[in-house]
Amino acid sequence: MTEGRELETRITRLFAERLEVELPSPDLDLFQAGVVDSLLFVKLLAILEEEFGFRLAFDDLEIDDFRTVRRIARFVAAKRLMPAGVAASRHDETPPRRDERVRKTGGAGPRAGS
């Protein structure tokens, strides 16, 4: 069995065992079929991080990478090939302070008398 097929099998098993969802095919569009909604998607991401030992940064997420089990397997395979520091360095960046976010978005900041 190829690594891609092994990952597909493993991910399908995760859906069944951890998310309690039986999938008929690795090519089923999980969003279009209504299998995955926003809450299940977040759970899936957490399970993938835990199971495969990588961290996902918001910048890493492209919805098309998660449409089917086959695409998820490709995404996982690619993440496993990345050097550990590449994904982690983007994920671990210190977020801007609140006053910096306001400035960047054009907010007026605190008003007098508030």
Q: What is the mean pLDDT of the chain?
A: 81
* Domain annotation covers residue 101: no
* Domain annotation covers residue 7: yes
C-alpha 2/C-alpha 93 separation (Å) is 36
Residue 47 is predicted with a pLDDT of 97
* Domain annotation covers residue 108: no
pLDDT for 113 beyond 70: no
Total number of domains in the chain: 1
* Domain annotation covers residue 112: no
Residue 93 is predicted with a pLDDT of 43
pLDDT for 29 beyond 60: yes
pLDDT for 34 beyond 70: yes
* Domain annotation covers residue 75: yes
CATH code at position 72: 1.10.1200.10
Single-letter amino acid code for the residue at 52: F
* Domain annotation covers residue 12: yes
pLDDT, tens only, 35-84: 999 999 999 999 999 999 999 988 889 999 999 999 999 999 999 887 65
pLDDT for 111 beyond 60: no
* Domain annotation covers residue 32: yes
pTM (2 decimals)?
A: 0.71
Residue 95 pLDDT grade (very low, low, confident, very high; cuts 50, 70, 90):
very low
Cα–Cα nearest to 91, from 112, 60, 48: 60
* Domain annotation covers residue 87: yes
Range of the domain at 22: 3-95
Q: Which two tokens stand for residue 16?
A: 């069944």
